[in-house]
Structure 1
């Protein structure tokens, strides 16, 4: 069976949705898995998500991209500094879950968070990044690395781009021309009324709102076939998810 490249959107502690969507995609050890980040914050099972990803990495070829929520949690583990904005946007669920764990497990998970990649470029010139980038010359030249997991301007730009504009036009955005395709998460497609992956220009957004009341998505980067979990709030009926 040939290897598939499967891309997974933002999980946000939804372990049940992660298991469900991997099963629906029929994931095997032949598949390469690229996770776009935001493994924590939102639903109650962030530790289970990271435990599972660490185990999965011993069986499959995996790429783990850094999300802004992953970095916020890593920073809290380093500094233990109160961050009310993070707490109200899913961080409290993460802290509640990790307060139940032994310190050695927390340290293993911290090592996972520290090992995350800011972006991944595959051999087909497809870029995988959590949020976006701002430099006209591409991700290698990004002056502000945090933009790779915080930027929303890339997605806003391609949504506003005239689909009739020629790629040879001087007005066509230079930063997206460096890559065959770009896969992102970070900004839920639910903001434009969609709960499925959305393509604008050559950018695919796979954050289909699993942090809220929508499904988690996995996509085959070659065929564009995708699979989704149930709406995550139905899997966690006694929780609120992210605000």
Structure 2
């Protein structure tokens, strides 16, 4: 039976990605949805993009754009080193590209340029890196980057009373638009967690692989999930974004 499997933020941890795909016993019948942020963290940022480019040729993949992927794209196009980017994982990515030629960089540039920013499946489940701010959904955003930068959807879901009925006039309209919403972007270690978190109908899959957490893959139907070894143990000589 085919499954829909969603994967959280990878941040250059290719070893963790390969491990967790193996743990979940992924087959070519499964649909894989990647929530973005494939770079900026561990040393395999460029190799992670290579792996995803190859994987989408053999598997059913939906690979979404994250904010760190957009930051890398800007550098690939303009060669500008944004200081905030460098402070938040960009230095490791620059190092990963140190010996990569222009042709190879162009392949990565085109790959990122063609990544969609969100996906809605046939069960009205939304998959997006960060969230959306517009009351009518991501289709209506004025700026594309909102869906891979904005944290207010997650913060709102966390702050909404669990006992509040969807029929209540004060229940957030944004949360009614989709059956479920799968996001990354905000690492759950901020809340002392290292497993997926759910608030209302929003499920957060960023289990802090950029830091000392594991990488997570989750079956959206059964809600069963698999996790890699905490990523810092797979890259013991590196600091990631710690």
The two structures have a TM-score, normalised by structure 2, of: 0.99
Runs of 4+ in 1 over 2 A off after TM superposition: none
- Equivalence for 2:151: 152
Q: How many residues align?
A: 242
Q: Distance in 1 between matches of 2:158 and 2:193?
A: 13
Alignment-derived partner of residue 90 in structure 1:
89
Taking the aligned partners of 1:123 and 1:23, their CA distance within structure 2 comes to 27
Give the distance between the partners of 2:143 and 2:83, measured in 1 at CA.
24
**Matched residues in 1 for 2:142 and 2:14: separation?**
34
Question: Aligned residue for 1:129?
Answer: 128
Write the distance in 2 (CA, Å) between the matches of 1:35 and 1:169. Answer: 34
Name the residue aligned to 2:237. 238
Q: Which residue of 2 aligns with 1:138?
A: 137
- 1:144 shift after superposition: 2.2
2:37 maps to which residue?
Answer: 38
Aligned ranges 1:183-194 → 2 under 5 Å: 183-194=182-193
Give 1:9's aligned residue.
Answer: 8
Contiguous gaps of at least 5 residues in structure 1: none
How many Å separate the matches in 2 of 1:212 and 1:179? 30
- SS of 1:127's equivalent in the other structure is strand
Counterpart Cα distance in 2 of 1:49 and 1:77: 16
> C-alpha distance in 1, partners of 2:134/2:52?
31
> In the alignment, which residue of structure 2 is the partner of 1:182?
181
Aligned residues: CA RMSD: 0.7
- CA distance in 1: counterparts of 2:82 and 2:46, whole angstroms: 20
Q: Which runs of 5+ in 2 are unaligned?
A: none
Tell me the residue number matched to 1:70. Answer: 69
Aligned counterparts of 1:61 and 1:87: Cα–Cα separation in 2: 33
